[in-house]
Structure formats: structure tokens, C-alpha cells
Structure 1
Amino acid sequence: MNVILIASDLLLGAGMLFVLTGAAGLYRLPEFFTRTHAASITDSAGAGLVLLGLLLRVEDLATGLRLLLILLFLMFTSPTASQALARSALDDGLRPLVRLGKRPR
């Protein structure tokens, strides 16, 4: 087997795992801020690993450059959007869920 194809398969599998974990987090987590965190991980880690795996399989330079630009754009915009969304929710008065026995910071 080719080492590049194995590395690509591993990256695609890891990306798929992050996407599935993030989707489960969106479904199972109890409140807005933890769900925002799950969505952020899905965007950054999951999609990033999938794009890296696809980048290893590409055959022409133009497609590889497009994938790299998508990856760079995603890495800059996704965390910024998640932080802005959480900050605007805090500014609107939404507070994180506090469990009994734990003090808020």
C-alpha cells in the first residue's frame, strides 16, 4: 500500500470521528455555550482533518490550492465566528448553566 493513501485514510477517518462527535455533542449537550463549543470543534478539527485528507489525494495543483485556501479560510473564520456568537449571547444576558455545588467564575 502507498504511505500517502494510508495517511489520507487516517486523516479522513479522524475527521469523520470529530464530525460525528461534534454532531453528538450538538444533540446531547445541555445548553447553548457547550453546544457552541461542539459546533466549533466540528468546524475546526473535523472539517480541517477531512480537508487535509483530501489534500493528500488530489492530483492537480489547482484543486490542491483550492483545498488549501478553503482550509486556511476555515481555520481563521470558524473560531472567530464561534467566539463572536458566544460573546453576543453573553452580552444579551444569556448565562452559562451552573450545576449545583459548583460556583460560577
Structure 2
Amino acid sequence: MTVFSPEVVDAVLNHMNGDHVDDNVLIVKAFSGREATEATMNDLDEQGGTWRYVAEGEEHQLHIPWPSAPLSERPEIRREVVVLYDAACEKLGVTPRVH
């Protein structure tokens, strides 16, 4: 059982999938090593986030551990997603935007 309420999980997923569509794809490309064409964050808990993505016409799932797991508070989720985003940018040679 996650330490985050269903309302917190839903709010984060809605935010990531509504406001950070490109970031989801970037994170999945970097951590899956595949050329993802679309990606959505579909779950999270104190240990990491889970994304569903499409690569080469097939759907896949990828769980990425939070660098500072386990998390216990909602603000930590944002911090960890930013860490994953920055790491993805570095791996892929993409200039990150200012947070």
C-alpha cells in the first residue's frame, strides 16, 4: 500500500499527463533505451513512478525508482520527477528548461 492517498496520486498523474506530456516521453526514452513515441505516467508510490509507453508500435510499461526513495511527502514527488527529467536530458543530450 502506498503512503500517498488516491487523491494525491490522481492529482500528480493528471498533472504529469496534462502538463508534461513531452517530459513523460523524454523520461521514458532515456530510461528505457527505446524510441518511445508516446508515454503516460500511470502510477506512482513511495518507491518510484510507472509509465506506459509506445515504442515501435507496441505498448510497454516501465517502472523507474525515485533516486531518493522511499518518499513520504507529496512535495518529494515533484522533486524526484525533476531529478528524473534532468537525468533524462543529460542522457539524451537535451538542454533542460529552467524549473
TM-score, with structure 1 as normaliser:
0.28
* RCO higher in structure (CA 8 A, sep ≥6): 1
TM-score, with structure 2 as normaliser:
0.30
Bigger helix fraction:
1
Bigger strand fraction:
2
Bigger radius of gyration: 1
